[in-house]
Amino acid sequence: MEESSAIIDSVKKVSPAVVSVVSKSQVQNIFGDVYTQQGGGTGFIITSDGLILTNKHVVSDANATYTVILADGKNYDAKVQSLDPLDDIAVVKIDARNLPVVELGDSDQLTVGQWVVAVGNALGKYQNTVTVGVISAKERKVEASDPSGGDTESLQGLLQTDAAVNPGNSGGPLVNLVGQVVGINTAVASNAQGISFAIPINLAKKAIDSIKKTGKIIRPYLGIRYLPITPDLAKANNLKYDYGVLVIRGNGIGQVAVVSGSPADKAGIAENDIILGINGERIDENNSLSSLIQKYNVGDTVTLKIFHKDEEKDAKVTLQEIK
């Protein structure tokens, strides 16, 4: 009963600030007929004057129009303010005042087994649907695709939960039992039940600060493609370290290990190097490279500890903006 009461209180606290995001676009079929295609997602209000956080893939169609439906049923035209170049995060804006806002929690404090609540616009139809589950794992990496199976992107550092998330829940909040948002629901494992993923809210906080200050989401980057090293990977590949990240090219054409002209390239980082830490913080399953880099700002100089050509060394890198 104690948990049930906490869940009810948590939902009451967050629900007024959870919104539906509806997209409409004109689509032509193979016979030349034009019809309106509608999509649905979820978002949540982060400022009382109408800034709303959602998923990038919910609002990524530049030709679509977007409408936000508040919990009280009011409709507003929405403008896409900024798309995050790094994560599946976007901010949309509506022209409104005195709106209810969510309280942001600390996703770093989450523990596996902790109760969480997902609130969203399930299947794009059922507004503010509530599901309950636990944090199943942290620091997960998934390849997420849009509903058509077309565009895919690699998402890292995710929370895994068994709280049911359905199409339309994307962009909705994952909430702890005191009603604080600790994640943004973003992806579902389509070939399994009870496996959903959320972006930790701490990864979004820098984006929120950035958009409040500059009007857009600005992210620093290194400019490498990499594979997180686990003990199993280290053993299988006879690597010297069982932590850090291995700088490695992708399988596709043009998927280089180090982007030409990037901060990593300028610092002399090369394919097959291992990056072990940043400013004294070790890169491991509890501290992903992505989450550590996002602690810093564009223009900051950080010191990477790397294993390069059979020796450990420090490399100073000045972070640049992802374009």
Domain ranges of the chain: 103-214, 220-321
198 CB-near residues (< 8 Å, 6+ apart): 118, 158, 159, 161, 174, 182, 183, 184, 185, 186
Paired sense of beta strands 180-188 and 103-104, if any: parallel
pLDDT at position 194: 65
Q: Where are the alpha helices (DSSP H) in the chain?
A: 2-14, 201-214, 231-236, 263-266, 289-293
Q: Which helix (H) or strand (E) holds 175?
A: strand 173-175
CATH placement of domain 103-214: 2.40.10.10
* Spatial contact of 81 and 92, defined as CB atoms under 8 Å apart: yes
pLDDT along the chain (323 residues), means of 10: 81 94 85 82 94 92 91 93 88 96 94 92 68 86 54 71 82 95 81 77 89 88 91 92 92 86 94 95 86 88 94 94 84
170 is an active site residue: yes
Query: Which superfamily, per CATH, for 220-321?
Result: PDZ domain (2.30.42.10)
User: What pTM was estimated for this model as a whole?
Assistant: 0.80
Catalytic residue among 82, 107, 170, 210: 170
What pLDDT score was predicted for residue 52? 96
What per-residue confidence (pLDDT) applies to 193? 62
Calpha distance 68→246 (Å, rounded):
42
pLDDT at 267: 93
Look at residue 36 in the predicted model and tell me its pLDDT.
83
Active site annotation includes 88: yes
Distance CA 307, CA 303 (A): 13
Query: Per the residue annotation, which of 20, 57, 107, 210 is the catalytic one?
Result: 57
Model pLDDT, residue 82: 92
Domains 103-214 and 220-321 share a fold: no
Amino acid at 109: Q
Is the CB of residue 91 less than 8 Å from the CB of residue 167?
no
Task: Please identify which of the residues 20, 23, 87, 88 carries the catalytic annotation.
Answer: 88
